[in-house]
Structure 1
């Protein structure tokens, strides 16, 4: 894979705006920009200017002035891509953007493909592969937690940890390989006790990183929370209270919500995707039955289940308590891995004594029970606090490495399996040549993460998911 030509792309979102930025990168980036740029006062040539400098002037074609612009110069190797980079800040008219873009294309540029600027940064050693992937995560981050994880990875926290383990393992691998060259002399260069300690430590770190993926993945993608319960218990009202807007239709008519409604908010810097589902009940309505079926599908996809019950129904209909407990147990048994919170809603419509009795009765069947009024907002803050407590954010607060990328997770699993093989080999005292095979495989999977071992297909798949211009 070679990238020696000069590329150009719009680095800001398409459409009208106050300003737009076009980015060029490559050996001829400054020369091409210089051929269409005219300084306002001095007539200076961009090719003779210092790196990291700004220049006011006009973009012209022949004698036609297209726009007044500000040109930023970044000379290699001190640029994002490691090549000569020029950024043209122009007025945000789509006409102006296209005129400058087409002019540069006629002067010898090529349209950049998705993620090609970051790909060049990787190929030129400005970023390793895990850092490059973090750039895409940073652009996609929509809450404080996902932003923090992407920044930590982009700064090299994850890759430096992996690189350090790989270097230590490589040093011992070299000694093991050296032993093979002197096999007939029966010498031992690698201290087996030190090697065992290293393997134990590597295994511990890998296990921690692998375990962090469960938290990192849900934080990155937003934690799905299903709001379930019988019709007319206040599910849509709760969703509206959490979102602080009238997102779901609220009505006294049971079965108003016949499909799932989803929306995402940030609570304490963590993204939560709330799913308002159709009420669970026996029904002959074909459309409502489909909605109820989807409810169970959404519960299966959710990380957390909020099971609502109306306090007014429990007070007025004694048999409701028993049927509700049966439904809670049904959900708990069908989805034992889900975090289940029972919500006693409409507490503003019942007396204090009735509320106390209901809480006491439900607590024997619900490990986590929160009384609220979705209508007035009472108890909603306690609910949001409970949701945050379910998520392990300690690693975020302590700035620990959290794995969020499924490709990294897969490579870590494979590396961990090979490390376990090395550990077993040391315990059973297998020959150095067999030990070396497992070590090489572990090193291979470490290299996959940072991009020290890669191929064109892998790079194509990774950078195809980037936006054009980055």
Structure 2
């Protein structure tokens, strides 16, 4: 997870797509396509200093009708270009923005960042708003909201305040899982399941 112009972005760096040489490589490439299906935004990296391969063209064509936003980064702009990005990308993916960048010298990266921010709709996020980056935080907030809603309904219906107090306690417990004041064993297990610990 990185921050791009104040916006939290979760990146998945995938392997290149090509004709697999064996079953193991095929599994890896299949996993890439799964990630592409789940992505909100796809950033395709192409090498502008080498001719496009059949695999490159195939990937561009495969993403033509994909229901997500696509940006193309044509890398190595510091070297002589050997293919016409305007023509080829314009024909294969009309309307898709592409950026000539140099990962070595940083040229064009600011424009790519700005485009990524725009596609993510960051302007719709209020200045005083927050972003949730962990699924367990999202689930805890949803639970707290459900408990608070239940407490309000209990009081609104004229039921015992003790019932509302129980819901409020549950809401606080859910929030404490985020702040770290109260962490249950199953929460710790979920946290450590996201880390790879060497032996």
The normalised TM-score by structure 1 is: 0.29
Structure 2 equivalent of residue 328 of structure 1? 63
Deviation at 1:292, TM superposition (A): 1.6
The normalised TM-score by structure 2 is: 0.55
Change (3 A) 1:280 1:417: same
User: Whole-Å Cα distance in 2 between the matches of residues 416 and 406 of structure 1?
Assistant: 15
Structure 2 equivalent of residue 442 of structure 1? 167
User: Whole-Å Cα distance in 1 between the matches of residues 114 and 44 of structure 2?
Assistant: 17
Q: Are 1:275 and 2:5 matched, yes or no?
A: no
Change (3 A) 1:401 1:384: closer
Change (3 A) 1:424 1:361: farther
1:194-232: CA deviations, max 9, x gaps? Answer: xxxxxxxxxxxxxxxxxxxxxxxxxxxx15xxxxxxxxx
The 3-state SS of whatever aligns with 2:87 is helix
User: Whole-Å Cα distance in 1 between the matches of residues 183 and 47 of structure 2?
Assistant: 55
Change (3 A) 1:327 1:344: farther
Larger Rg belongs to: 1
Change (3 A) 1:272 1:384: farther
Deviation at 1:383, TM superposition (A): 1.9
User: Whole-Å Cα distance in 2 between the matches of residues 357 and 457 of structure 1?
Assistant: 56
Q: Which has the higher contact order (CA 8 A, sep 6+)?
A: 1
Structure 1 equivalent of residue 145 of structure 2? 416
User: Whole-Å Cα distance in 1 between the matches of residues 136 and 145 of structure 2?
Assistant: 14
Report if the CA contact (8 A) 1:309-1:343 is conserved.
Answer: yes
Structure 1 equivalent of residue 195 of structure 2? none
Which consecutive residues of structure 1, in runs of 5 or more, have no partner in the other structure?
1-221, 224-265, 466-470
Deviation at 1:280, TM superposition (A): 1.7
User: Whole-Å Cα distance in 2 between the matches of residues 456 and 420 of structure 1?
Assistant: 22
> Could you tell me which of 348, 361, 364 is aligned with 2:91?
361
1:389-428: CA deviations, max 9, x gaps? Answer: 43749869x45455556555434312322444466678xx
The 3-state SS of whatever aligns with 1:275 is coil
Report if the CA contact (8 A) 2:17-2:29 is conserved.
Answer: yes
> Could you tell me which of 143, 146, 159 is aligned with 1:433?
159
| Higher relative strand content | 1
The 3-state SS of whatever aligns with 1:288 is helix
User: Whole-Å Cα distance in 1 between the matches of residues 133 and 85 of structure 2?
Assistant: 43
Structure 2 equivalent of residue 383 of structure 1? 112
User: Whole-Å Cα distance in 2 between the matches of residues 436 and 411 of structure 1?
Assistant: 22
Deviation at 1:443, TM superposition (A): 0.9
The 3-state SS of whatever aligns with 1:349 is coil
Map 1:116-127 to 2 at 5 A: none
Change (3 A) 1:371 1:441: farther
